[in-house]
A = this chain, B = another copy of it.
């Protein structure tokens, strides 16, 4: 992010030249799409009323090619443990080559929350929110989404003068904001709290219209022209330390459960899991990862056994589509999360970044190494917002996998579950084990621990999955 401290000198330049440069830069951005230098630009705009945000954007629209500038202006979504701050805006995160401007954004939500709710945020809470937002923006930048933030400011006296002169017919959109701009106290409070967040923003004084519009456009031009290398965080240096492979994965449990015992326990557990899933009023996210044929599908089938299909959603995660590849790898999960105490099951997940994408070299080492922290922040923001995350790694032995592959090939209605690629993946068994081990080491957090289930006995695996789910849910005593 560009900081105001590294300010470029702003002198008004020839408008036609500025327009020409902006359009050229837009086309370079657009043409970067699909290359190693691809990036997108996300512009966040906030500020004092009547400081000229709208006018500056209108002027920008006239200078650039307006067909390649997307402007969104949502009404505020109050913050408050119901959704991560980024969730309402996930759909607007620009794809490579795109430029998107958000009037409504997570900071305006934060300010609206801080200014309006009956029990205001403490300074510590406010600063914690800002820190979280900055970390999110760093993750965006690491994933090729450049973020630039503008605060349009206006001194108190100027604001009052502009209010005096205001044409009453243009007031419609001002209802969106709901602050009393005639109140000196509110103005002072806003200025005080916004200063705790805008030190990495570009602050634009809205007093002088020409300078304001020029400064805004010139900063955007500079951002467009900035090469990706300057935006992306530094690569993680230092030697990568492989984690040791958990013992369970090296000697897979072989005991088998008797069918009658299994049936009885299964009946009990499926019923209780269904009840618990209904009783727990949080959003529930269940993640399955594991070796091929380790029984993810079978385990999911037992979780939903006593549920109605209207009560849950299952996403089977395959290779991303082209429009998904043009955005941060977490993007396609941001839009699949449960709401309103819903239940979402992921058959494979965002962990693909540090598993298949690592092993198959679809992600660069610095990308998957950075992904552990990104994933932890992502899951933490779910946990902070009324969501429980239950993660399973299902492991079987290499021999057992071969047996199951062959059985699938010989069962007509299961043949679709087995392809040539599955056999090829077996050659990378050790690499997948290592990737799993590193994943446990880096993402086994206290609130979203990994449940490693390592047994060649399908029945036992299914029962343990159900038991672990019960343990993580809040059930009335």
Residue ranges of A at the interface with B (Cβ–Cβ < 8 Å) = 16, 19-20, 23, 27, 54, 57-58, 61-63, 65-67, 71-73, 103, 169-170, 172-173, 176, 274-275, 278, 297, 301, 304, 306, 308-311, 313-314, 316, 318, 321-323, 347, 412-413, 416-417
B-chain residues with CB within 8 Å of residue A310 when the two chains form the complex: 54, 73, 103, 173, 176
Nearest residue in B to A104 (C-beta to C-beta)? B310
CA distance A103 to B311 in the complex (A): 11
B-chain residues with CB within 8 Å of residue A58 when the two chains form the complex: 304, 308-309
The smallest beta-carbon distance between A83 and chain B, in angstroms, is 18
CA distance A161 to B19 in the complex (A): 74
| CB-based contact B274/A20 at 8 Å | no
B-chain residues with CB within 8 Å of residue A63 when the two chains form the complex: 413
Stoichiometry, as copies per complex, reads 2
Query: A66-B297, A170-B274, A172-B311 known; 20 other A-B pairs, CB under 8 Å?
Result: A16-B413, A20-B412, A20-B413, A23-B416, A54-B310, A58-B309, A62-B301, A66-B314, A73-B309, A73-B311, A103-B309, A103-B310, A169-B274, A169-B275, A169-B278, A173-B308, A173-B311, A321-B323, A322-B322, A323-B323
The listed residue (B19, B57, B65, B172) touching A309 by CB distance below 8 A is B57
The smallest beta-carbon distance between A25 and chain B, in angstroms, is 12
The smallest beta-carbon distance between A179 and chain B, in angstroms, is 15
Interchain Cβ contacts under 8 Å between A and B, 23 examples: A23-B413, A27-B416, A54-B309, A57-B309, A58-B304, A58-B309, A61-B309, A63-B413, A66-B314, A67-B347, A71-B309, A71-B313, A72-B313, A73-B309, A73-B310, A169-B274, A169-B278, A170-B306, A173-B310, A173-B311, A321-B323, A322-B322, A323-B323
Nearest residue in B to A301 (C-beta to C-beta)? B62
The smallest beta-carbon distance between A112 and chain B, in angstroms, is 15
Q: Among A23, A58, A309, which residue has the most Cβ atoms of chain B within 10 A?
A: A309
B-chain residues with CB within 8 Å of residue A311 when the two chains form the complex: 73, 172-173
The smallest beta-carbon distance between A255 and chain B, in angstroms, is 28
B-chain residues with CB within 8 Å of residue A176 when the two chains form the complex: 310
The listed residue (B170, B308, B347) touching A308 by CB distance below 8 A is B170
**CB contact under 8 A between A54 and B308, given known A172-B278, A274-B169, A275-B169:** yes
CA distance A169 to B306 in the complex (A): 10
